């Protein structure tokens, strides 16, 4: 087999894996948009906040330590304990549920029936507040996140592909874990939405707020639940991306990677986020591999958007999005 | 009655206003946003050194230093806003800590008559003081860095690197592209093969670049990164098992922040530096006593001795020595920004001076002149010791290849002079 084709196959597989990581971020956007029609600008910052909280809890970091020390002249930084990863993840989820309740109670409860642009602006405010709040709460330093996920080349794939192609493929163990986790997450979310009472209520709210209210569904409860789910997805994305780069404030920028995925997959479809992520991941990696060297490289960021735009021209609602028809 | 009211109003204003010191230093810092982890230690070091001079020595030459901090968030527009908002305070010098902000400020600061010190960043050809009268980039610049890295590689290979493959992984911005011309010149001179791998901002996803490195198997990888790009690159290098001792970053890719996320496997990673590391210098005892211990530190006091804290402190030390030079030249302690420029242009850093201020052997000796605003291009290589949790110097200071860099500086500065109608000359 020609060498370039073998390389392209490796790039293809890595593109799929990268796409899963993009999809993890996109899922959070989809959940909230689907249930409330809000494009949550703060989703990237929620991933950052969740990861910061997770590391803080694991390391026994005192929240607001700098503020407390500055105000009272103390020198406290750590509680002196380390919390196991699984327990820390559960505690972080409790924090994210609390955040969801606060966000709904303080902001969105008062904005029911407002124009989508108003809700969008509110999430911009939320994003900047949450970023600053996270900074004050946990500090701006880069934190190593280790919840026990494997990283580095997968030896088995390397050996098997070497036996076949005389060239061992590089697949990162962390990417494999992310793929399994994403698959489980999507499966669970779909089951939840289709077969549980709360899931059906969530879909009813997504279809028509007022009709859902009229049959006794609590809009507040559903919104808190959806923001909690988005918080959980943000935590998963934060763990995966934070393990790669350390937990730091640029983590909030991963939202930029989700936008073309949403444009392509549609804002209202959970499977769309996954398929969109895979198409974007594979598309940008193969384009960089084949065309990048001819045009000086660094094509991935813009090519993802070009790819999404091409799909938009033919399917404005995205591959799996719901067609919006307004009758006069 | 009117006179009484005016006098009372004036007295009230004077009582309410803070006591204005005469030496104004603006710290265009970034303590928030994606690059805060790097901006904080630099700013802490920069401010703490001036605070030390105020607390221990009563300022510089009897004049207290007033620090004005302005948050840029490493955003070019905000950096320019900071400059416009603070220049009226009587700023003596700006240290933008951003190549993007530097490029915007060069014409503004030149027009306003306020010097810029872009230490180890910014526009490299600003080394030519005949064209860039108000810009200084001593003690070393990006092109020095490129040459220093290649010289180190040559030293590792008995001086012969013909046929070797060197890849440059760089931030796809004006900053990241700076070393390319020099590396191309050096490739021609030494006969090595150069490949270029740009990484888009912010650099969280670099799989394509590192798969390419794995396929093409370069002997060495150089990196011009900043922020998250550094951490991801080092992690990806670990993932593909690239030998860390053959991975060399510029000085902006060589702080503790950059290696922390990759853990022990980053051991052996190298980075260039133009100043020493660690806190085993007499000045740190003074900083602990007069600044951190006295509760007057700019930050939490937890960054003292880190690579970027040292760099900020070193920048402040160079600024304060330039102030002293300006005071001596002008015969006045209350200097202006124009006198500060003269002080910077006549700055001489000697070992005796560094030892006297508690920083013996902290950096290379150099002398600034009108022809040379960039120092002598000396630097050293440091290496990450994961067990000790610190970067350690592994070479002496050595000079960059001035035969290659000199003509490039002349060519680029001449082009700038032609574009801007500058006659130039000293």
* In a domain? residue B132: yes
CB–CB contact B214 A170 (8 Å): yes
A292 touches B at CB < 8 Å = yes
Contact A127, A36 (CB under 8 A): no
Give the tens place of pLDDT for each residue, B330-361.
999 999 999 999 999 999 999 999 999 999 99
* In a domain? residue B226: yes
Domain with residue B364: its CATH number is 3.40.50.2300
Minimal-distance CA residue of chain B relative to A243: B261
* pLDDT value at residue B415: 94
Same domain, B16 and B84: yes
Mean pLDDT, residues B29-44? 94
B366 backbone dihedrals φ, ψ, rounded to 5°: -160, 160
Contact B132, B370 (CB under 8 A): no
Bridge partners (DSSP) listed for residue B349:
B366
Minimal-distance CA residue of chain A relative to B227: A250
CA separation for the pair B163, B79 (Å, rounded)? 43
Contact B137, B127 (CB under 8 A): yes
Same domain, B49 and B78: yes
Same domain, B124 and B183: no
CA distance A282 to chain B (A): 11
* pLDDT value at residue B21: 52
* In a domain? residue B70: yes
* pLDDT value at residue B174: 86
Return per-residue pLDDT of chain A as tens, 328 residues. Answer: 789 999 999 999 999 999 999 999 999 999 999 888 899 999 999 999 999 999 999 999 999 998 998 888 888 999 999 999 999 999 999 999 999 999 999 999 898 888 889 999 999 999 999 999 999 999 999 999 999 999 999 999 999 999 999 999 999 999 999 999 999 999 999 899 889 999 999 888 888 888 888 999 998 899 999 999 999 999 999 999 999 999 999 999 888 889 999 999 998 888 999 999 999 999 999 999 999 999 988 999 899 999 999 988 988 888 887 766 666 6
Note down the domain range covering B264. 142-276+379-406
Same domain, B169 and B239: yes
Same domain, B263 and B393: yes
Which tokens in the block code for residue B415?
């082009």
Q: Which residues contact B13 (CB under 8 A, 6 or more apart)?
A: none
Choose among B196, B208, B215: nearest Cβ to A285.
Answer: B208
* pLDDT value at residue B19: 47
Bridge partners (DSSP) listed for residue B165:
B193
CA B364 to chain centre: 14
A290 touches B at CB < 8 Å = no
* pLDDT value at residue B15: 44
CA separation for the pair B102, B100 (Å, rounded)? 5
* In a domain? residue B169: yes
CA distance B335 to chain A (A): 35
Closest CA to A307 of A266, A259, A255, A264: A264
CB–CB contact A141 B37 (8 Å): yes
Ramachandran class of B276: left when φ > 0, alpha when ψ lies in -120 to 50, beta otherwise: beta
Cβ-based interface (< 8 Å): residues of B facing A:
31-37, 40, 172, 196-202, 204-205, 207-209, 211, 214-215, 227-228, 231-232, 235, 238-241, 257, 260-261, 263, 295, 300
* pLDDT value at residue B223: 98
* pLDDT value at residue B18: 45
Same domain, B171 and B261: yes
Closest CA to B409 of B386, B365, B383, B377: B377
Q: Does the pLDDT at position B181 exceed 70? A: yes
Same domain, B76 and B158: no
Block residue for tokens 């872009």: B118
| Helix or strand (DSSP H, E) at A131 | helix A116-138
Name the pTM for this structure. 0.91
Domain count, chain B: 2
Minimal-distance CA residue of chain B relative to A152: B239
Mean pLDDT, residues B142-155? 97
* pLDDT value at residue B314: 98
* In a domain? residue B358: yes
CB–CB contact A73 B40 (8 Å): no
ipTM for this model:
0.91
CA separation for the pair B135, B413 (Å, rounded)? 12
Same domain, B153 and B40: no
A289 touches B at CB < 8 Å = yes
* pLDDT value at residue B9: 52
CA distance B36 to chain A (A): 6
* In a domain? residue B206: yes
CB–CB contact B204 A253 (8 Å): yes
B32: which chain A residues are within 8 Å (Cβ-Cβ)?
131-132, 135, 140, 249
Contact A270, A190 (CB under 8 A): yes
CA distance B199 to chain A (A): 6
* In a domain? residue B166: yes
Q: Of A186-195, B87-96, B271-280, B281-290, which range is least confident?
A: A186-195
Same domain, B320 and B340: yes
Same domain, B312 and B330: yes
B263: which chain A residues are within 8 Å (Cβ-Cβ)?
144, 146
* In a domain? residue B2: no
CA separation for the pair B303, A88 (Å, rounded)? 27
CA separation for the pair B286, B291 (Å, rounded)? 8
Give the tens place of pLDDT for each residue, B407-425.
999 999 999 999 988 887 8
* pLDDT value at residue A208: 82
Q: What is the count of residue pairs from A and B with beta carbons less than 8 Å apart?
A: 109
CA distance A66 to chain B (A): 7
* pLDDT value at residue A318: 83
Same domain, B239 and B283: no
Same domain, B336 and B369: yes
* pLDDT value at residue B8: 52
């Amino acid at each position: 087999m020609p060498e370039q084709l073998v390389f392209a196959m490796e790039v293809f597989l890595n593109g799929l894996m990268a796409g899963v990581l993009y999809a993890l971020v996109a899922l959070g956007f989809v959940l909230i948009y689907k249930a409330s029609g809000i494009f949550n600008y703060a989703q990237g910052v929620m991933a950052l906040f969740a990861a910061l909280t997770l590391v803080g809890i694991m390391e026994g970091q005192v929240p607001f330590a700098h503020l407390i020390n500055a105000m009272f002249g103390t020198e406290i930084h750590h509680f002196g304990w380390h919390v196991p990863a699984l327990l820390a993840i559960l505690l972080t989820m409790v924090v994210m549920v609390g955040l969801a309740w606060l966000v709904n109670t303080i902001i969105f409860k008062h904005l029911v029936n407002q124009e989508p642009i108003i809700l969008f602006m509110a999430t911009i405010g939320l994003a900047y507040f949450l970023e600053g709040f996270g900074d004050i709460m946990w500090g701006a330093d880069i934190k190593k996140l280790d919840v026990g996920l494997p990283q580095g080349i997968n030896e088995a794939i390397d050996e098997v592909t070497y036996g076949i192609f005389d060239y061992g493929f590089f697949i990162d163990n962390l990417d494999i874990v992310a793929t399994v986790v994403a698959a489980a997450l999507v499966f669970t979310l779909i089951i939840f939405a289709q077969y549980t009472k709360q899931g059906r209520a969530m879909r009813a709210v997504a279809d028509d707020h007022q009709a859902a209210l009229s049959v006794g569904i609590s809009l507040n409860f559903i919104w808190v639940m959806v923001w909690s789910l988005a918080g959980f997805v943000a935590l998963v994305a934060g763990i995966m991306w934070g393990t790669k780069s350390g937990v730091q404030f640029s983590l909030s920028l991963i939202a930029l990677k989700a936008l073309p995925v949403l444009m392509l997959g549609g804002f209202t479809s959970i499977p769309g986020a996954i398929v969109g992520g895979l198409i974007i991941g594979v598309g940008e990696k193969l384009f960089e591999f084949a065309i990048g060297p001819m045009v000086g490289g660094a094509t991935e960021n813009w090519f993802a958007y070009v790819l999404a735009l091409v799909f938009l021209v033919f399917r404005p609602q995205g591959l799996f999005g719901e067609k919006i028809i307004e009758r006069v | 009655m009117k006179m009484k009211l005016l006098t009372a109003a004036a007295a009230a204003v004077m009582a309410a206003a803070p006591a204005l010191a005469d030496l104004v230093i603006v710290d265009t810092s970034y303590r928030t946003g994606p690059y805060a982890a790097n901006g904080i230690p630099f700013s802490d070091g920069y401010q703490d050194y001036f605070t030390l001079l105020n607390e221990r020595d009563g300022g510089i030459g009897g004049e207290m230093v007033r620090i004005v901090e302005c948050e840029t968030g490493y955003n070019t527009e905000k950096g320019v806003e900071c400059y416009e908002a603070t220049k009226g305070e009587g700023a003596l010098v700006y240290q933008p800590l951003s190549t993007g902000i530097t490029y915007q400020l060069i014409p503004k600061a030149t027009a306003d008559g306020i010097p810029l010190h872009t230490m180890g960043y910014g526009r490299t050809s600003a080394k030519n003081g005949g064209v860039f009268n108000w810009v200084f980039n001593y003690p070393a610049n990006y092109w020095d860095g490129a040459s220093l890295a290649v010289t180190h590689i040559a030293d590792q290979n008995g001086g012969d690197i013909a046929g070797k493959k060197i890849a440059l992984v760089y931030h796809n911005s004006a900053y990241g592209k700076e070393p390319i011309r020099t590396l191309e010149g050096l490739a021609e001179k030494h006969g090595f093969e150069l490949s270029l791998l740009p990484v888009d901002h912010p650099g969280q996803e670099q799989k394509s670049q590192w798969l390419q490195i794995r396929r093409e198997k370069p002997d060495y990888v150089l990196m011009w990164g900043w922020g998250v790009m550094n951490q991801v690159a080092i992690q990806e290098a670990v993932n593909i098992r690239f030998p860390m001792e053959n991975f060399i970053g510029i000085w902006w890719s060589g702080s503790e922040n950059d290696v922390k996320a990759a853990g022990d496997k980053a051991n052996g990673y190298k980075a260039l530096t133009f100043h020493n590391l660690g806190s085993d210098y007499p000045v740190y005892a003074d900083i602990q006593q007069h600044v951190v211990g006295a509760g007057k530190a700019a930050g939490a006091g937890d960054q003292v001795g880190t690579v970027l804290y040292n760099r900020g402190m070193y920048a402040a030390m160079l600024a304060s020595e330039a102030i002293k030079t300006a005071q001596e030249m002008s015969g006045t302690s209350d200097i202006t920004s124009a006198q500060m420029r003269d002080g910077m242009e006549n700055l001489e850093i000697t070992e005796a001076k560094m030892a006297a201020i508690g920083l013996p052997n902290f950096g290379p000796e150099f002398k600034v002149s009108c022809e040379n605003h960039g120092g002598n291009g000396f630097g050293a290589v440091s290496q990450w010791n994961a067990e000790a949790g610190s970067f350690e110097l592994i070479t002496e200071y050595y000079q960059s290849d001035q035969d290659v860099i000199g003509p490039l500086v002349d060519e680029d500065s001449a082009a700038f002079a032609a574009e801007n109608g500058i006659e130039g000359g000293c």
